Amino acid sequence: MADYEMFSTAGNRACTKLVKSVVDNINEGHFKTRDEAVDYINMGLSRIAENHGEVYDTEPHGHIGRNSAKAFEAKGWKPYHRFTDGD
C-alpha cells in the first residue's frame, strides 16, 4: 500500500483504492475525457473526507496526482493537480 501521508492506515487505504480505481478506469477507457477522470477523483476525495478530512492536506493531494500521472499522460492528458483541479 502506498503512503499518502494520511493520519491512519484506513486513510491511506482509502487513497490507495481511489488511485487504483481512477487508473483502472482510465486504462480501461471508461473515462472519455480528462474532466471525467478529474471529477471522479474529486468525488472520491469528498467521500474520503467524510472520515479522513486530512485528505485535503497538501501531501495526500500531491501523492494522488503523482500516483495517477502515468495513466493521465498515457491518454495525452495533463496529470491531476490539486491547485488547478481540486475542489
Q: What is the pLDDT of residues 40-65, one digit of tens each?
A: 999 999 999 999 999 999 899 899 99
Low-confidence ranges of the chain (pLDDT < 50): none
pLDDT of residue 38: 95
pLDDT of residue 25: 98
Where along the chain do its domains lie?
Answer: 16-85
* Alpha-carbon separation of residue 86 from 3, 17, 28, 29, 41 (angstroms): 20, 18, 23, 22, 9
C-alpha cell of residue 80: 491531476
pLDDT of residue 2: 81
Is 0.85 surpassed by the pTM of this model? Answer: yes
